[in-house]
């Protein structure tokens, strides 16, 4: 079959399975609302969890600093050449100070971080134990590394312990990799237990705080801060593209690991560095969010209320955080429900395999601190009417 016809057939198969993805037409954002295909909708699908992207004071302060300082819009080169602008230095020292760890390293995105760190540190002769629901970037990094790998049952620390015991003496190093707040289920890893296991079995623990940073912990450092496990985790990864309302990612760790990543991590070495304009904004939002504990508490409160109401209405709503998924099962039912929400002026996006397991399609609501209970109170009734 000719190449283009072959690709076209594959697209048709995705369409038949209700799995075809298309790029939405996203317009302006204004507070709680977002324009999609020209229609204003209540935005319940954003990862700007603290609403910092909409913070007028912060944006004004940034614009003023831009006018005065004139941040460059490009770094024009890799960090190992001429791209290592002093904004990197400021941002990384601030991360080290906040986390109280020896070293921090900033990356272009969370995807870069996860597809780079594991292959730099693990390889043949090593074993990676990865949560079954870990993000695609962790799965890809694991695959690239060439290490042996096993996916443990979701959040099941007895299963991890069983695998650690079985691996004893058979590998050079054993890595445990988990998200802290699971991006699609909104539930939390048991970080204390993981630190205990990694110590007892001499493993290396890597935690991805993409959805925990900014949202948990007194200073928004993530679930590791909230559970007192910052110093027990070998590498904590956070992203700037979610609660920190910017772009890029970081990892905090010991200095020896940072030096090694700078020398060996391919997605760090072979890419153009972030521009000063982004780094300066990331530093502003990182600092700003440290004193937003009131917003964090409010966010968890409205999320718990929404989750409780949806569960009372008979829906399967896993998790215990600001990510509130309503499991519909089939792809078709998730798409139908998203369409019903659209008609009611709400953006609640359908998430389908391969992002989630087969027959676990869902609407993933992600709440933000700038929403009030009144904004979402009617959602359970709306969904009930939509699924009746
Ligand atoms: C758990 C997790 N890790 C990593 C990433 C990738 O981060 P980024 O969007 O900065 O590439 C995401 C987000 O999409 C994520 O959910």
Which residue ranges in the chain fall short of pLDDT 70? 388
Q: How many degrees, rounded to 5, is the angle at CA 355 between CA 289 and CA 226? A: 30
The reply to whether domains 21-50+292-387 and 61-289 share a CATH topology is no
Segments making up each domain of the chain, as ranges = 21-50+292-387, 61-289
Instruction: Give the per-residue pLDDT at 70.
Output: 81
Q: Which of 47, 241, 268, 322 best tests ligand 1's pocket when mutated (most atoms within 8 Å of CB)?
A: 241
21 is written with which tokens?
A: 């993805």
Which of 57, 98, 58, 44 lies closest to 299, judged by CA? 44
Helix axes 276-289, 86-99, angle to 10 degrees: 20
Whose tokens are 């204003």? That residue is 40
Give 7-59 pLDDT, tens digit per residue: 999 999 999 999 999 999 999 988 899 999 999 999 999 999 999 998 999 99
Instruction: Give the per-residue pLDDT at 298.
Output: 98
Sign of CA pseudo-dihedral 255, 256, 258, 259: positive
H or E segment to which residue 159 belongs:
helix 157-167
Cα 89 to Cα 74, 85, 94, 259: the distances in Å are 17, 7, 9, 14
Are 265 and 144 within 8 A, CB to CB?
A: no
Reported pTM: 0.97
Domain topology for 61-289: 3.40.640
Q: Which CATH number fits domain 21-50+292-387: 3.20.20.70, 3.90.1150.10, 2.60.300.12, 3.40.640.10?
A: 3.90.1150.10
H or E segment to which residue 66 belongs:
helix 56-69
State which ligand 1 atom lies nearest to the alpha carbon of 182: 1
Cα–Cα distance, 156 to 240 (Å, whole number): 28
Helices (H), 290-320: 293-312
Distance 213 CA to ligand 1 centre (A): 12
Q: Which of 239, 245, 356 best tests ligand 1's pocket when mutated (most atoms within 8 Å of CB)?
A: 239
First to last CA, the chain: 44
């Amino acid at each position: 079959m000719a190449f283009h016809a072959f690709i076209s057939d594959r697209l048709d198969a995705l369409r038949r399975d209700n799995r075809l993805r298309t790029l939405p037409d996203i317009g302006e954002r204004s507070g709680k609302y977002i324009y999609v295909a020209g229609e204003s909708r209540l935005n319940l699908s954003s990862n700007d969890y603290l609403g910092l992207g909409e913070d007028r004071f912060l944006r004004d302060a940034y614009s003023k600093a831009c006018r005065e300082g004139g941040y460059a819009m490009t770094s024009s080169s890799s960090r190992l050449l001429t791209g290592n602008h002093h904004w990197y230095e400021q941002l990384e020292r601030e991360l080290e100070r906040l986390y109280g760890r020896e070293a921090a390293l900033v990356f272009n995105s969370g995807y870069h971080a996860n597809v780079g760190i594991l292959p730099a540190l693990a390889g043949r002769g090593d074993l990676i134990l990865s949560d079954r629901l870990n993000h695609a970037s962790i799965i890809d990094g694991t695959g690239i590394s060439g290490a042996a790998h096993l996916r443990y049952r979701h959040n099941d620390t007895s299963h991890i312990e069983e695998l650690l015991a079985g691996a004893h003496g058979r590998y050079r190093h054993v890595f445990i990799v988990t998200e802290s707040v699971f991006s699609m289920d909104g539930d939390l890893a048991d970080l204390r237990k993981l630190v205990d296991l990694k110590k007892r079995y001499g493993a290396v623990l890597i935690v991805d705080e993409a959805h925990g940073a900014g949202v948990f912990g007194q200073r928004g450092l993530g679930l590791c801060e909230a559970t007192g496990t910052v110093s027990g985790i070998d590498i904590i990864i956070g992203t700037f593209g979610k609660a920190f309302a910017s772009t890029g990612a970081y990892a905090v760790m010991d200095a020896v690991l940072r030096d090694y990543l700078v020398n060996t991590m391919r997605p760090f070495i072979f890419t153009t560095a972030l521009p000063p304009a982004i780094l300066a904004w990331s530093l502003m939002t990182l600092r700003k969010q440290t004193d937003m504990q009131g917003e964090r508490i409010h966010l968890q409160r409205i999320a718990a209320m929404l989750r409780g109401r949806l569960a009372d209405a008979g829906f399967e709503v896993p998790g215990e955080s600001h990510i509130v998924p309503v499991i519909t099962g089939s792809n078709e039912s998730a798409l139908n429900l998203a369409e019903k929400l659209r008609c009611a002026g709400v953006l609640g996006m359908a998430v389908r395999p391969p992002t989630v397991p087969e027959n676990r399609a869902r609407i993933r609501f992600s709440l933000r601190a700038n929403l009030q209970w009144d904004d979402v109170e009617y959602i359970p009734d709306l969904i009930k009417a939509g699924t009746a």
